[in-house]
Amino acid sequence: MKEFKVVVPWMEGLHMRPAARLVKAANHFLSSIVLKCGEQITDLRSIISVVSLCATMGMTLDVTTSGEDEHAAAQAIQQIFSGPGANPADSTSKPGP
């Protein structure tokens, strides 16, 4: 079992677009992936459950991966929270040329 924390980096919070990326990533692994926000616990394979956490920007979430590919699953989830599109500056519109 691998446990770690992530911080919601998106200005709009954990909305449909990042939730869809998380669910898509979770479905590539055999391991169980659980997301906890306060007292709410959800399976990362359910987009409705993920969005219903109502996690806002800056909130800390606990992630637990458990199974034969738990390390790869954890790495993939961490990448989504820190990769392209995770920086609030990436989600603002930029002036054109």
Tally of CB atoms within 10 A around 83:
13
Place of tokens 């995770």: 86
Nearest to 43 by CA among 26, 18, 21: 26
How many residues can be counted in the chain? Answer: 97
Q: What residue type is assigned to position 16 of the chain?
A: M
State how far the Cα of 14 lies from the Cα of 43, in Å rounded to an integer. 15
15 an active-site residue? yes
| Selected catalytic residue, list 2, 11, 13, 15 | 15
Positions annotated as catalytic residues are 15
